[in-house]
Structure 1
């Protein structure tokens, strides 16, 4: 039980720790939690493309059925946002996703999504953690059933409808999109949605490979070199590149001029686009660019800053009826859709935006209007059990200035965000999924960002 802990987005661990008995304990904990809440009905259990994921999903289904709940499962690995959508569409009690998202193949994970389709808040995950126990089956005549269902078609219908509402018409005919599934669960889902909208496709890594080609299904620039070369080469056809992470809840965008489009810049372009036809605030995490705030100011809107973790973004969207919510790691959703990050929906919306006006042109215009923004991050190794102690020690080491610029404010919503007199900032926070501390920095040029990251690293490393 001590091994099982719910971080930023569920419990993830290497397969040495993420074992069948422990997964069954999580299933029993959720079954007990739902029963204690007086809930009765159906639970979804989805899973990603990892070698062990289907088996873990079947174990969860057995535990839930033995506790009297009916279970639906997809016919194959499918993106996590499809599970979240099914929960809301089918009025389910909640659902599981067996996934380690972007982590390497030696990891797996599980997240529980409550009945609102948004990531579970601590009140729920704490209640689940308190109920971890060996499975306690009911008599066989009280067991539930398992049904295999199609999660893709209903989600695709909803995504097309929502993007139609936003854009006026989702017609991607004439647009060629290069799609990189990174061997993950977006294959046959994201590309199928884009094709249904009329786009021509060039596919990369759209075959299932539980080892993800020997790497991690993380859509970072260094892992998307083939996609970037394809889209930026004048001799090739793609107008736009899209990639998903392993469970397709996040996305990366590649444009002809910029290559890899920084997620912060895409978020700003997305919000600016949405505000052309609608109104409302944005919700962003503490690690996401202030450029969102500048876009909001230009339109007379507000921005609400929340801790890192899409559960906080989703909560902020609900509290403020936000038009959009997102994070610098490529997770976004929009008003009128499920409050879970959705890399499938966003791939369609990004392509529709690009079909109307090239994303490079919109970003150029935003930067000309609001100023250049550069952001980067690094990781400092730190064992999970030391994170709290390091942050406690850091509180007493906050400097008056960083890289020669005065600290004007310290935001402690998630770690320590040092806001500097020149408008730049440095953030130090613990990762919720890896044994590291993250150091983020934002400024007006890369040289300044590197100086801030170096200063942040020098501040943290002696404390680890």
Structure 2
């Protein structure tokens, strides 16, 4: 078990039982000893549709109840819904989810009563877990009876999202919803229908399907294009398993980049400061009406950047990631009302802001995307790439200028590099290639930018090929 870019992750078989109870116990003790919660306080637990999630949720509930907390079950709801409900109730939360990673893995996301935990919290929780594990202390993992809070949790999130735009904002639009196994699948339909869209529900699955909105599979792309043609859709929307990363595809079935969704939402909100990881498109800074702060990859780093901006007196502060997850650090006035800050990844706000822009301009989403004139960006990953091998590759590339130059020689010459998170290299011809091990799965990721789609995809293929050949030679 270890913390990655967002939450604790591990194999489902390893996380069920004592392991999940151990980390829930550590989280509960950390809350108590840091005075962030008291005995008798309520703690909320939500979960995704993975087969292992109910058992893990039960293990965590038993552990927290043994410490004297009241445990409320929010059911299968989106992560941002649990987080918002926690802020409303001033309650700590756990979300049992592995997000976009395969079904044989799972995870736990933790929230203090004031929002998502940060890296310092992760260190403290890990320390508590190690101390408990090394002692003779009993860890309770037996499920207990919990109060059902799913209805008020979902209702609060529904009310937030149905107050962002005018009532008939999507009238005349035909929008597909790829439901698969995301916990946001019914809520997406309800919210879009509220705004007057003709909604077509598609691809609902009772088997968990891992959908990564940052590295969309060929199978998912084929589905999107097929549905767009057969149903005559203006757009198709979806999200990852726990509903905190959006997927928005245009009228051709082509997905829009997550960082473009973030940029559109920044303009929609009138943001003055945007915090985003180094993996987001380099064109975001060009002619932007807001200041941009770059961070490492992962919501804790984005949240830390937002907190720093607010502490410096900045107003209208948001963050977003290349996967499209949108975070707000300050309240915003939207559609004539003040909308509270939600400093955790949310898929609904960027989805609605982007569709709203298309409706207002009466333009296709492809035309909206083209109007931003961003460098073409692409990303993909090599799955089942051992963590040790990823670490060895990064150590090799960082060891010397000669190593990096030789590794990239078949692709291009190095002009400059950034080592904020992974290794991001700008080539002499202006193309960008970025190598980065996943923070929460045995995967090696590659991100690229180029002047057009063909050049970007060629660069991406070349980068992945170099990684594979290096690994095969070792």
Q: Which bracket does the TM-score occupy, shorter chain normalised? A: 0.7 to 0.9
Q: Secondary structure at the match of 2:319?
A: strand
Q: Which moved more, 1:261-270 or 1:427-436?
A: 261-270
Work out which of the residue numbers 29, 32, 35 in structure 2 matches 1:32: 29
Under a length normalisation based on structure 2, what TM-score does the superposition of the two structures give? 0.83
- Does residue 1:329 correspond to 2:323, yes or no? yes
- Secondary structure at the aligned position of 1:259 is classed as coil
Residues paired across the two proteins, number: 434
Q: Is 1:304 the counterpart of 2:299 in the alignment? A: no
CA contact (8 A) 2:271 2:318 kept: no
- Residues 422 and 267 (structure 1), Cα distance of their counterparts in 2 relative to 1, 3 Å cut: farther
Q: Establish whether residue 398 from structure 1 lines up as the match of residue 404 from structure 2.
A: yes
- After superposition, residues 170-185 of structure 1 pair within 5 angstroms as 171-185=169-183
Q: What is the deviation of 1:403?
A: 5.3
User: Tell me, what secondary structure is at the counterpart of 1:410?
Assistant: strand
Secondary structure of 1:189's aligned partner: helix
Deviation at 1:42, TM superposition (A): 1.9
Counterpart of 1:17 in structure 2 is: 14
Partner residue of 1:53? Answer: 53
* Partner Cα distance (1:116, 1:258) in 2: 39
Which runs of structure 2 are paired with 1:369-408 in the superposition (5 Å)?
Answer: 372-379=375-382, 382-396=385-399, 397-399=403-405, 405-408=412-415
Q: 2:241 aligns with which of 242, 246, 253?
A: 246
1:129-164 per-position Cα deviation (integer Å, ceiling 9, x unaligned)? 1111366589xxxxx983211211111112233x24
Change (3 A) 1:175 1:69: same
Cα distance, 1:113 vs. partner?
A: 1.9
**Does 2:443 correspond to 1:436?**
yes
Distance 2:265 2:229 in 1: 21
- Cα deviation, residue 453, structure 1: 3.4
Gaps of 5+ in 1: 139-143
Q: Which residue of 1 aligns with 2:266?
A: 271
Residues in 1 aligned to 2:253 and 2:387: alpha-carbon distance in whole angstroms: 36
Q: 1:155 to 1:380 in 2, by over 3 A?
A: closer
Corresponding position: 1:360 with 2:359: no
**C-alpha contact (below 8 Å) 2:261/2:351 kept by paired residues:** no
Mapped partners of 2:106, 2:293: distance in 1: 32
1:30-179 → structure 2 map (5 Å cutoff) = 30-38=27-35, 39-40=37-38, 41-74=41-74, 76-92=75-91, 94-118=92-116, 120-132=117-129, 133=132, 136=138, 146-149=146-149, 150=151, 151-161=153-163, 163-164=164-165, 171-179=169-177
Shift of 1:459: 5.6
Cα separation, partners in 2 of 1:182 and 1:379, compared to 1, 3 Å: same
3-state SS in 1 of match to 2:344: coil
CA contact (8 A) 2:324 2:350 kept: no
Q: What is the CA–CA distance in structure 1 between the aligned matches of 2:267 and 2:450, rounded to whole Å?
A: 21
1:279 and 1:37, CA in 2 relative to 1: closer, same or farther beyond 3 A? closer
Distance 1:68 1:82, change over 3 A: same
What is the CA distance between 1:78 and its match in structure 2?
A: 0.8
1:260 aligns with 2:255: yes
Change (3 A) 1:79 1:66: same
* Residues 422-433 of structure 1: pairs in structure 2 closer than 5 A: 422-433=429-440
Q: CA 1:422 to 1:271, structure 2 compared with 1: closer, same or farther past 3 Å?
A: farther
Q: Equivalents in 2 of 1:393, 1:137: separation in Å?
A: 42
